[in-house]
Structure 1
Amino acid sequence: MQALQIFEYESSSIEFEIINGQVFANATSMATVFKKKPNDIFKTKMWIEYEEEVCIQLNYRIEDIRFGKKGGNDKDNQGSWIHEELIIEFARRLNVKFSIWCNKKIAELLKTGKTEIRKQNPLELAKSTILLLTEELESTKARGDYEFEARHNEERQRKKAEKEIIELKSELTSTKTDLHKLEDQEDLRNLYRR
């Protein structure tokens, strides 16, 4: 096992570690950068299918490609850790630019056993932060538009169902009235027959 390697992405620390020749990343740190939790992704159907397929193709168990580290004083080492085969897929679900950055770090670690972090000047850092915030805002807006549309569709369906119920009640009342009229006519016929 090699020492923990910490890299900065957008002023946030992302931990990588090589364990038994395999690169692992701290998914908790990765998700935190984008104000998300790993379980938000781990519980999705697509993610579960992806993990299962990785396990089948590489002959691994889930515990071999994703595990948790708890306790201790080393806060950097805690959280959910994921195998190199999952890192890019996980990062892709967080942010496209972040996914590409992770891919470069993994390649660097695999080639050299280490990676270098290029210092950004304050202007570059501000520009990339603005781009990241803009992407996050657009993503949030898109989710909001989808949720609004879903609520709007539900409301339309509810109103349509209420209208159909009123129409059915009206038909039922009308049918009952017609039945009563038929019963009354039958009673009159029976009365005349006597």
Structure 2
Amino acid sequence: MKGLITSERNGVEHQFSDDGWFNATLASRPFNKRPIDWLRLDETKNYISALCEQLGISEPKSLIKAKRNSGTWLHPKLAVPFARWLDTHFGVWCDLQIDQLLRGKHPVLDKKRLRHQTASTFKALTAVLQQTLEQQGKEAKRHHFMNEARLINWALNGEFKGLDRDSLSYEDLDLLASLEVQDLILIASKCTYEERKTALQEHTQQVMHKPTQSITYASMEA
């Protein structure tokens, strides 16, 4: 089992790992059922036995994991039959979720990759900013990097302050990554703070295809 993935259906959150394991305890609660009741069924025992034979697994318990704080987790090949036992439509939904996870196509995985991309891009941006400041005979300090991050945040959402990037939508993360690349290019091109501010705002307008709210604040030029 790898990283935790949370996916919502009808206002209820369900948990998967990014390699397709499924939190059966959490999923069963809205249906007033329990994983142990499904596992005790003769049909389930026969299915697990046949599955182990096909997968070359000698120990059936390796397909089931008990976690102290979250309950019973099922192997991807058990998750769908269990979900179908809970509810047919829920079973189809789980089947699609796990298929996307195993193929690396789940929207949450795309967002994770994009979040990693923004972190990497900003790291490169700070390196270019530090080099630029040093070439100007200035010492790079923490507030220089904070101000640049806030400038990008302002271009994104109109607020010159810190930003919880993990809470951003996929679309906002995509725009954020684009803004970071633009700012890196602008810094490397020796653009002033005011020039960068104008260019980043224009970039946002072009991407969003609508005017960005004009906001006035004190200049924080390095």
| TM-score scaled by length of structure 2 | 0.45
Shift of residue 52, structure 1, vs aligned partner: 1.1
SS of the residue corresponding to residue 51 of structure 1 reads helix
The alignment status of 1:98 with 2:90, answered yes or no, reads yes
Poorly superposed stretches of 4+, deviation over 4 Å: none
Counterpart for residue 115 of structure 1: 107
Distance 1:59 1:115 in 2: 32
Distance 1:10 1:35 in 2: 16
SS of the residue corresponding to residue 23 of structure 1 reads coil
Shift of residue 93, structure 1, vs aligned partner: 0.6
% same residue: 28
Residue by residue over 1:86-137, the C-alpha shift from the partner in whole angstroms, topping out at 9 and shown as x without a partner, is 1111011110100110011011111225335xxxxxxxxxxxxxxxxxxxxx
Distance 1:83 1:37 in 2: 16
The alignment status of 1:40 with 2:37, answered yes or no, reads yes
Aligned residues: 107
SS of the residue corresponding to residue 53 of structure 1 reads helix
Q: Which has the larger radius of gyration?
A: 1
Distance 1:2 1:47 in 2: 25
Distance 2:90 2:106 in 1: 19
Counterpart for residue 67 of structure 2: 69
Counterpart for residue 219 of structure 2: none
| TM-score scaled by length of structure 1 | 0.52
Distance 1:67 1:114 in 2: 23
Alignment of 1:144-155 (within 5 A): none
The aligned amino acid for 2:87 is: N
The aligned amino acid for 1:88 is: V
The alignment status of 1:49 with 2:46, answered yes or no, reads yes
The aligned amino acid for 1:58 is: L
CA contact 1:91–1:99 (8 Å) conserved in 2: yes
Structure showing the higher strand proportion among its residues:
1
Shift of residue 79, structure 1, vs aligned partner: 0.6
CA contact 1:105–1:115 (8 Å) conserved in 2: no
Distance 1:70 1:7 in 2: 21
The alignment status of 1:29 with 2:17, answered yes or no, reads no
Structure 2: runs of 5+ lacking an equivalent = 109-222
Distance 2:8 2:77 in 1: 21
CA contact 1:68–1:81 (8 Å) conserved in 2: yes
SS of the residue corresponding to residue 33 of structure 2 reads coil
Distance 1:42 1:105 in 2: 22
RMSD between superposed Cα atoms in Å:
1.6
Counterpart for residue 86 of structure 1: 78
Shift of residue 36, structure 1, vs aligned partner: 0.8
Distance 1:17 1:113 in 2: 14
Label 1:43 to 1:5 Cα distance change in 2 as closer, same or farther (>3 A): same
SS of the residue corresponding to residue 6 of structure 1 reads strand
The aligned amino acid for 2:53 is: I
The aligned amino acid for 2:29 is: T
